[in-house]
Amino acid sequence: MRRIVVSVLLACTFMACGGSDESGSSAGGGTGGIVASGGVGGTANGGSAGAAGDAGMEGGCTPASCASPGHACVGGACVEDCRAPGASACAGSTVCHVGDDNPGKCVVPGSGCVVTSQPATCAGLTCGPGTRCDGAGACYPALPCKSMKCDGQTCHGTECACTRPPPACAPAPLGKVGDVGTLNDPKFSRCGSLSSCDGGIFDLDFDQKCNAWGVTMISGTDYLRKIDPQGKVTEYAGVTNLNMGEVAAIQGKGGLFGGGLDDIALTYICCAACGCVLSGSGGNPQGVAALDFGNGTLPMKIPTAKFSSGTGPFGKPSVDTGPYGLTWGLDQVLYVGNVDANGDYHALDLTTQTSKVVATFGKRVIASAPFDAARMMVVLEGGEVQLVPVLGKSGAPKALITLATHATSLVRDAWSGRIYAELADKSIVSFAEDGSDLQTFQTAPEVGRITIAPDGYLYHLTLGWPTKAEIVRWQLPAKL
């Protein structure tokens, strides 16, 4: 990613802008809170004096002399820039737009793409249009804005594209079941051939370099597999036949934050009646493991306290069990539910092999995903979706939406910010950041899981057990 250093306007990352004189990096490809398109109003006090609009009076000005809607006195000139500190409020029903097509203009909601939000007080800061308060005294960019600028104590979103940016990479071709070198290559999605054994991959995720990762649910030893964009399959054996439930590739290293893509975690979920024993973990073959790239092993890192199970989206006790909701937050912390008991939600440290409870619910955790830099989304039995502050942020969980039934998985579009969830009835729904505008996006061929790759497609995995694994995909909307 490119690094922006400026003297007056501060470019801030997803993590925070605290109003200091420190400069940060302009982040790309991550998530923030989705900015309302054609709905929520944004007025004055939104952010930076950035790109000045149409010049007004010359030779000096005062706030009083720049009273026209959306205008401000900037650098001795009256300019049209509703983002500027002290700018006059946009008139009537217009709102302050920070989209790349007309940043700083007052526009009518519904007139094409409108990127805006109401300014919010955040400790000593004002988080203006295109930004959010992280609940700990700092602003961060809100989708579709990828960065922000701050002038003094006010911030606004920048790099707010109304059209999906071109992808930086693409995964291996989709292919049809059995096609070698594709995502449906049997060596990746099944047992190694179309008929050699039962089962196949049970969860799918993509890293930021478009490598696809899958974990298996097959007879005998289970495997973590990778298929790179060129179609090469690499396989890593699990410690024994423990059944693998979920896989999570870190979302950030090599993307938002730089560095290597070297963090891949998975869960072992072998049920209490499935006949699995893992020595050295109290006999409980459930917990979180991680790929050791040095020797290619998948050692257990965080064993669960006891077997857990419950009513879940798959309707089978053998897989509705163990830890669920494994995902990396944008803070590069790994999260998962049901570690000590159903309903707990933990932040994990794989290096020290320790965990910390960040929330506790009365129902079993089914899935989770990052919502923005400050919060995680957690889906509970029955379809209730909660927003949970990440490790280090204060505040109680907040209900976002209750879906019609159990959700197998959910993910947030890193450009538009729209949220997608697959339900146990095979419907794939989407909704806005505030839980409104619930729509059916697609219907899956079989019950499975969804994920989004950096190429702008939503991928669906038909689970490799008890059905036959198959991957399909749909292109996500290209315009807000």
Residue 471, domain CATH? 2.130.10.10
Q: Where would I find the H helices in 114-210? A: 186-189
Residues 358 and 374: their CA atoms lie apart, in Å, by: 13
Asked if 366 contacts 355 with a C-beta cutoff of 8 angstroms, the reply is: no
pLDDT value of position 50: 36
Residue keyed to tokens 């490790």:
391
Of 29-43, 239-253, 296-310, 325-339, which has the strongest mean pLDDT?
Answer: 325-339
pLDDT in tens, 283-327: 678 899 999 888 999 988 998 888 888 888 999 888 989 999 999
Return the structure tokens found at 28: 């790309």
Q: Rounded to two decimals, what is the model's pTM?
A: 0.84
Within a domain: 352:
yes
pLDDT value of position 64: 80
Classify 64 as helix, strand or coil: helix
CB-based contacts of 291-300 (< 8 A; 24+ apart in sequence): 291/224, 291/236, 291/264, 291/265, 291/266, 293/262, 296/236, 297/236, 297/237, 297/239, 298/224, 298/236, 298/237, 298/238, 298/239, 298/266, 299/239, 300/239, 300/268
Return the structure tokens found at 473: 């995909």
Within a domain: 157:
no
What number is the average pLDDT over the span 444-461?
Answer: 97
Within a domain: 166:
no
Out of 59-63, 187-191, 357-361, which region has the weakest mean confidence (pLDDT)?
59-63
Domains contained in the chain, number: 1
pLDDT value of position 405: 96
Within a domain: 301:
yes
Within a domain: 322:
yes
Within a domain: 142:
no
Q: Quote the domain boundaries for residue 412.
A: 186-475
Query: Which residues are 121's β-sheet partners?
Result: 126
Phi and psi dihedrals of 186, rounded to 5? Answer: -55, -30
Confidence of residue 275 (pLDDT cuts 50, 70, 90): confident
Residues 244 and 242: their CA atoms lie apart, in Å, by: 6
Q: Residue 111: pLDDT above 80?
A: no
The closest of 283, 255, 282, 250 to 266, measured between CA atoms, is 250
Within a domain: 451:
yes
pLDDT value of position 152: 87
The closest of 434, 397, 476 to 117, measured between CA atoms, is 434
Asked if 235 contacts 225 with a C-beta cutoff of 8 angstroms, the reply is: yes
Asked if 84 contacts 49 with a C-beta cutoff of 8 angstroms, the reply is: yes
Task: State the first-to-last Cα distance of the chain, in angstroms, to the nearest integer.
Answer: 24
Longest dimension (CA), the chain: 83
Q: Output 423 or 194, whichever has higher pLDDT.
A: 423
pLDDT value of position 270: 85
Classify 451 as helix, strand or coil: strand
Confidence of residue 340 (pLDDT cuts 50, 70, 90): very high
Return the structure tokens found at 178: 């059995």
Within a domain: 173:
no
Residues 286 and 323: their CA atoms lie apart, in Å, by: 7
pLDDT value of position 277: 66
What number is the average pLDDT over the span 75-94?
Answer: 90
pLDDT in tens, 209-230: 999 999 999 888 899 999 999 9
Q: Output 288 or 12, whichever has higher pLDDT.
A: 288
Asked if 223 contacts 216 with a C-beta cutoff of 8 angstroms, the reply is: yes
